[in-house]
Amino acid sequence: MKEFTHECHYTLYAFDELAEADRQLVLSAQEATKRSYAPYSHFHVGAAVRLTDGTIVLGSNQENAAFPSGLCAERTALFAAGAQHPEQSIVALAIAAADADGLTSIPTPPCGACRQVMLESETRAGSPMRILLYGTQGTYVIEGVKQLLPLTFDGSFLKE
């Protein structure tokens, strides 16, 4: 018998401690929460991705009366970036969320399906994605999707 442990390493920063580029991406994610369509959950999520050339692409959750037909903010942003800028790689992703009380105090972690899509973007980019999870109490900074998704399934499992 052999036991394995995965650790998730992340750092908590006060907003003012973040580097300028990170602050800018977090502010973009905050702005994106205002574009969310969430009449059912009233939980407004915003995502902002930075591309290799510095372009920022926004996404927000888009809900639907047939619940599974909606999409999370992160995947909206990642797919929009892939569709509009296929020649660019995604280097960073920031997430923020707002509920009836305003921007949430606890940072919002991406759901499992979004983590899998983030992994695909990271694999495509060939380098770890910088992940910024914003809350008014602070921002978690995470270096690479594998911190959030151990035992990853990626394209290397699929035979050509």
DSSP characters over 28-80: HHHHHHTT-B-TTT--EEEEEEEETTS-EEEEE-B--SSGGG-B-HHHHHHHH
Catalytic position from the list 3, 17, 31, 74: 74
Contact residues for ligand THU (CB under 6 A)? Answer: 38, 41, 43, 45, 61, 63, 70, 72-74, 108, 110-111, 114
- Rounded to an integer, what distance in angstroms lies between the CA atom of residue 68 and that of residue 66? 6
Quote the least distance from Cβ 8 to ligand THU, whole Å.
16
Quote the least distance from Cβ 7 to ligand THU, whole Å.
22
Q: Residue 51's closest CA among 20, 73, 30, 82?
A: 82
- Rounded to an integer, what distance in angstroms lies between the CA atom of residue 48 and that of residue 40? 22
The two tokens of residue 95 are 């997430």
Quick check: helix, strand or coil at residue 96? Answer: strand
Select 73 or 142, whichever has its Cβ closest to ligand THU.
Answer: 73
Residue 17 is a catalytic residue: no
Select 18 or 32, whichever has its Cβ closest to ligand THU.
Answer: 32
Quote the least distance from Cβ 91 to ligand THU, whole Å.
19
- Please answer whether residues 3 and 132 qualify as being in contact, where contact means their C-beta atoms are separated by less than 8 angstroms: no
Quote the least distance from Cβ 115 to ligand THU, whole Å.
9
Select 40 or 52, whichever has its Cβ closest to ligand THU.
Answer: 40
Active site residues: 74
